Chains A and B, each alone.
Chain A
Amino acid sequence: GAGVSQSPSNKVTEKGKDVELRCDPISGHTALYWYRQSLGQGLEFLIYFQGNSAPDKSGLPSDRFSAERTGGSVSTLTIQRTQQEDSAVYLCASSGTIDTQYFGPGTRLTVL
């Protein structure tokens, strides 16, 4: 079936604006992850959803960041009052089996 999809692929916004990033996981995958990757850096864990359990939000860098997953499928990552340091590629991954994560193409966020 289809892989993980993310939208938009690119987002340019002005400092102080809110943005929403969307992730459509692989159908049937119960686990969903959000990561952030700055240029030339590794992946920074943000948040993890597993089935109906409470999400692990331990990686969210500030209260400006939030995420939700509706109906155990699509997820939205929201960044309020964006700052320039929020500029990065935001990656979503889903998993249905042991530790194998399938990644989407990412959303490149640029905050001017």
Chain B
Amino acid sequence: LAKTTQPISMDSYEGQEVNITCSHNNIATNDYITWYQQFPSQGPRFIIQGYKTKVTNEVASLFIPADRKSSTLSLPRVSLSDTAVYYCLVGDGYSGGYQKVTFGIGRKLQVIP
């Protein structure tokens, strides 16, 4: 399984764009990159997933360079409600295949008023 590493915590002011980077040097050809968000006392929640280049949805953008050894989650104009722990994961992209992925310790984002 590809291992992911992330710095532990970061602070940001409301209204700023926040970029959170994750390293996954051993990512395999079939692996997708998925980001989750976890609020206190809740289970993680899917944010965005991608394989290469750029993916955007209503919540965030995900930038993946050509070598796919890292990825960057971009949150536009964060608000206090974006304070959470963010996890990046890589895992086998075969639908119906073995999909065990492992969560690291994540990165805590604290949004400051």
User: Chain A residues in contact with chain B, CB under 8 A?
Assistant: 4, 30-31, 33, 35, 41-43, 45, 48, 50-51, 56, 91, 93, 95, 97-106
Known interface pairs A98-B32, A99-B49. Does A42 touch B43 (Cβ–Cβ under 8 Å)?
Answer: no
6 contacts across the A-B interface (CB closer than 8 A): A30-B96, A48-B100, A103-B43, A105-B42, A106-B41, A106-B43
Task: State A108–B92 Cα separation when bound (angstroms).
Answer: 30
User: How many whole Å from A85's CB to the nearest CB in chain B?
Assistant: 19
B95-109 interface (Cβ within 8 A of A): 95-96, 98-106
Known interface pairs A100-B34, A100-B49. Does A45 touch B43 (Cβ–Cβ under 8 Å)?
Answer: no
User: How many whole Å from A33's CB to the nearest CB in chain B?
Assistant: 8
Interfacial chain A residues near B42, Cβ < 8 Å: 103, 105-106
Interfacial chain B residues near A100, Cβ < 8 Å: 34, 46, 49
Size bracket of the B interface? 20 to 34
From A41, A51, A99, A106, give the contact of B101 (CB < 8 A): A99
Interfacial chain B residues near A106, Cβ < 8 Å: 41-43
User: How many whole Å from B82's CB to the nearest CB in chain A?
Assistant: 18
From B43, B46, B101, give the contact of A104 (CB < 8 A): B43
Does A42 lie within 8 Å of B87, measured CB to CB? yes
Known interface pairs A42-B87, A98-B32. Does A103 touch B104 (Cβ–Cβ under 8 Å)?
Answer: no
B69-112 interface (Cβ within 8 A of A): 87, 89, 91-96, 98-106
> Does B54 touch A at the CB level, under 8 Å?
no
Does B106 lie within 8 Å of A42, measured CB to CB? yes
From B41, B87, B99, give the contact of A99 (CB < 8 A): B99
Residue of B nearest to A50 (CB): B98
User: How many whole Å from A22's CB to the nearest CB in chain B?
Assistant: 15
Residue of B nearest to A58 (CB): B100
